[in-house]
Amino acid sequence: MAVRKETQFMVSLSADVVQLNATVATKLDAIRQVGQLLVKGGHIQAGYIDSMVARESAANTYLGNGIAIPHGLPQDRELILQTGIAVTQLPQGVEWNPGETVHLVVGIAAKSDEHLQILRNLTHVLDDPALIQRLVQTQNAQEIIEQLTQGESSPSVQKPTELEPGFDQQVEVQITGAAGLHARPATAFAALASAFEADIRVQAGEEIANGKSLMSLLKLGVESGQSIRILARGKDGAAALKALQNAIATGLEAEEPEAEPDLDLPALTLASKAIIGVAAAPGIAIAPLHHHHTQTLSFADTAPNPAAEAENLRRAVAAALGELTALQQQVQQQLGTAQGAIFAAHHALLADPDLIESALTQIPPNRSAAWAWQQTIEARAQSLAALSNETLAGRAADVRDVGQRVLRHLLGEVETASELPTTPVILIAAELTPSDTASLDPQRILGICTATGGPTSHTAILARSLKIPAVVGAGAAVLDLATGGTAILDGNGGCLYPQPSAEDLTQARQRQGELQVAQDGALRSRFQPALTRDGHRVEVVANIGAAPEAAAAIEAGAEGVGLLRTEFLFLGRDQPPSEAEQFAALQEMTQALNGLPLIVRTLDIGGDKAVPYLKLPAEDNPFLGVRGIRLCLQEPDLFIPQLRAICRAAAIGYVRIMFPMIATLEDLRAAKAQLEAVRVELETPPIEVGMMVEVPSAVLMAAEFAQEVDFFSIGTNDLTQYLLAMDRGHPTLAAAADALHPAVLRAIHQTVQAAEAAGKWVGVCGGLAGDPPGASLLVGLGVKELSASPASIPAVKAALRRQSLPQMQRLAQRALSCSTAAEVRAL
């Protein structure tokens, strides 16, 4: 048997890093306090404290007997200046985990595997209850120092050299883990041994330890490659030895996360004939079909009193505006700001004085208000539908939706839900308006299939938020389907199976169950960091669009905010927000994030957004026009107050700034110059500056841009659109505008390479970051941060934790060599 080689290591500990009589409210407070002591002692940079907090999320550092040993993640060791420890004494204690109270917090900073020797030294003290009690109560820091640094020379520790009689069952095994029998595998070993009645002993060299005691096992100091002998005494000793031998053979890692739910399930392929549409909202629905019919409103064309009709129209518009305000708030609270903004846009559309005036002029001499209003609305809708820009053309449905809302008030009609059934159904419709969709109850409407529409329509957005599986653009054939027959709707594959076989139904129900189990598991583990199997950490943050969403994002498992869309402050109003209003919103978010990062994207709007106070001219192609940073540079009265608010927020929280629609170095430098002028004037600290990579020129000149910014954030939605010259809102091209196209992946790879050469990092805040398979590819390409919708975060984290970095890197390299998006998806 190999004999353990003894190594000597003196733990660095002095009185200035021992805090007596401390009080803390929470475990995290305790970790941060001991971390500050390590900073004070010159052992770590301040950033390592966050790593210690993150480590606690990934693993339990409670050793037992009132002792915890918080330390950082292996990948953050560059933040350690010199190896050492610090101690916070908590006479009153703090709850570390349920049922675990800590009185001594020993913070560890180890530049390599020195922490193993630190633990070895510490364990000669930590398993002595009387000594621990003395250290918890002492008012002399030197006593703590002497006990924690004298290591094996401690007279209070006796080396066990004899084995009690009766241990006649034994097995010899080799410890193969890289760090030996250290804290994680020792914890797992002790826990497994404790599950048996038999007494368990472990012998390493001349030392013998209690196999059910973590402290005793750590004291052995077993290194990688060393053999140990496991001995048992008792009736189930043989079973215990076999279980422990198998556990060592398969790897002892108590901190290894539980198996992550597999969300990357194979596609649902059924034998029955399918109606093919466009996938708009994921999930599988199994229910009878039910047809939705738009409510038909009848009205007279003429009326005798034009003044009364005009007044009726004004009252109806006012009532509809009130409804939209309430609906926006309701949807925003239930689904989020981006969804609520749909009805803020409806409000802005309806508040347009030109729209009202146009309808009023059609009333004299004898037209009814309803007729005049309907004529005006339909003319507006048709003019939008005729536009070559498909996204704007698709907004004709929003205009008609607003029109119907006012018309109901004019006619005194109560809005109905089209007499929806009280039992669960899959809803079939020619088209659903945003108002129709927002009113749906996911408990009754299990799926949606429409004849028209696109995946970026407001209806599709709302369906995804409501978690109702949806297929759009399925064609007129769906309108001829019989009501009542049980069907299967696959929102992932974009298929409706109107007449499934019994075997299809069984397969679909099984897939439903698998998806539910996977989603539940991901949700439970959402607060764990996205650590790959080999310890590579990926920062997973949230895309949000309003101040209240920051707290909700953290609850969803986000580690910060990677994209704050500031447009919510500017849209749906008659005048721009003041600097004070913007600062107040940012301040609310920094407080909710409590030190986690917040990336603020400056205003990103253009001619496709309704902003009355800007009076933006109509553009034939607003996506290639004055938008994003171009608009801000042209509108300093809009841009400067926002920059001032951001700089002020950065002085009180961890705030970064990001400029959108950067296509030229000139635009970036102009934006940076204005930011710096504002910062100098306010005398606020420097702020990290990033830029969106969403146009081809930014990719091709990434090396030059990397010299000018601190980070890149790739918007895969717009990058795909601009790179493939396919409008992502186009009803027939949208499916081909795939962010997994090799051209897009190669553009991302090129951007990452340029950033890494300059020592900068790359994040992704587009839709691909919220898609688990896409997220894996992005990490394999070298992306360091993924920013997704809060609802996507648990699944993305779960997917990353199931894999290793080399595994994702190999997948990414294979994807880069593909020729089509279909080939990439087939991987």
Residue numbers annotated as active site: 71, 182, 458, 765
Cα(654)–Cα(591) distance, integer angstroms: 10
What stretch of H or E contains 510?
helix 502-524
Tokens found for residue 668: 């970036």
Q: Do 491 and 769 form a contact (C-beta atoms < 8 A)?
A: no
- Backbone phi, then psi, for 576, in 5-degree steps? -70, 155
Instruction: Determine the distance from the C-alpha atom of residue 94 to the mean position of all C-alpha atoms in its chain, rounded to a whole number.
Output: 30
Name the amino acid, one letter, at 462: L
Closest by Cα among 42, 106, 114 to 68: 106
Instruction: Determine the distance from the C-alpha atom of residue 317 to the mean position of all C-alpha atoms in its chain, rounded to a whole number.
Output: 40
Tokens found for residue 634: 């042209």
Q: Nearest 5°: CA angle at 679, between 673 and 681?
A: 105
Residue 64: Cβ-neighbour burial (10 angstroms; 0-12, 13-18, 19+): middle
CA dihedral 170→175→180→186, nearest 10 degrees, is -40
Residue 256, classed as helix, strand or coil, is: coil
Cα(265)–Cα(270) distance, integer angstroms: 15
Tokens found for residue 788: 């997704």
Tell me the CB-side half-sphere exposure of residue 278, using CA atoms within 13 A.
24
Cα(208)–Cα(148) distance, integer angstroms: 22
Compute the chain's Rg from CA coordinates: 32
Q: Do 284 and 508 form a contact (C-beta atoms < 8 A)?
A: yes
Q: Do 474 and 447 form a contact (C-beta atoms < 8 A)?
A: no
> How many residues are given for the chain?
827
Sequence-distant (≥ 6) Cβ neighbours of residue 311 within 8 angstroms: none
Q: What is the 3-state secondary structure (H, E, C) of 523-584?
A: HHCCCCCEECCCCCEEEEEEEECCCCHHHHHHHCCCCCEEEEEHHHHCCCCCCCCCHHHHHH
Q: Do 182 and 254 form a contact (C-beta atoms < 8 A)?
A: no
